[in-house]
Structures are given as structure tokens and as C-alpha cells.
Structure 1
Amino acid sequence: MAPARFSPSRFLDDVRRHRVTYLNYVDKPLALILSTPERPDDADKTPRVAIVNGFDYRVVRTSPA
């Protein structure tokens, strides 16, 4: 899957629609995806493997302050 235009808010919708099982990303797009608000259907995703280069997990808050 290679959308014509990247949208963090639509990323998981695209992943589900195309039944993506493998992700290969660099730091900035992944940080943008992870910073989107949680949704009730977030658990309905298909990826099994994600390869990420240069991602610093400390830049994304995963729980409310």
C-alpha cells in the first residue's frame, strides 16, 4: 500500500482496508500516527510485523498525563 498522500488520521483505516500485514517506517510518520487520538476500532488492525528505523519512543505520550 502506498497512498498518494500520507494522512496519520486515516492511516489505520487504509491498513485495515488493504489488509496490510507488514509495515516499514521511519521515525516521523510513525510518531504522527501514534500521536493521533485512540479510537474504539484500533484493535481491529491487521499488521503482524513493523520495522521502524530511527524511532525514539520517548517522543510519543502513550498515556494521559
Structure 2
Amino acid sequence: MERRRMDFLVLLGQAHYADHRRLIRALSCPVCGHATMARAGRRRDAVYCSGRCRSRAWRRRATRRAQSAA
């Protein structure tokens, strides 16, 4: 597990060095920007670092839907 984490951090560092924004976005939580291995340890479609960020994203989407419906 530690080796996998180091590989992840090296990949993230290389992405930052090369200014590869799409890869950085893929390796980071879309809500808080925290570097996360969400896709590696759990489901491949998990993108959030925690339940808190998942809830925040859900609330934002619900607010946007309510505003567009009004």
C-alpha cells in the first residue's frame, strides 16, 4: 500500500511539474482539491476524497437545479 501511495504522489508531482491540468484534476477531489487516491482503492467512478465532499457536491447540484427551475 505504501508503494502505491508513493507512486501516486510521484505521478501527481510530475503532473504539477508539467502543468498537466487534466491529470491534476483527475487526481484531485473536485470539491476541495485535496490529492486523493479515490479511484485506486474503491470504485473506479468514485472521485471525492470524503463523504463530506460528496455531500457538498450533491448540495451544489441540488441548489443549481432549484435555481434553474425557478
TM-score w.r.t. length of structure 2: 0.26
TM-score w.r.t. length of structure 1: 0.27
Structure with higher strand content:
1
Structure with higher helix content:
2
- Which structure: larger Rg? 2
Q: Which of structures 1 and 2 has the larger relative contact order (alpha carbons within 8 angstroms, sep 6+)?
A: 1
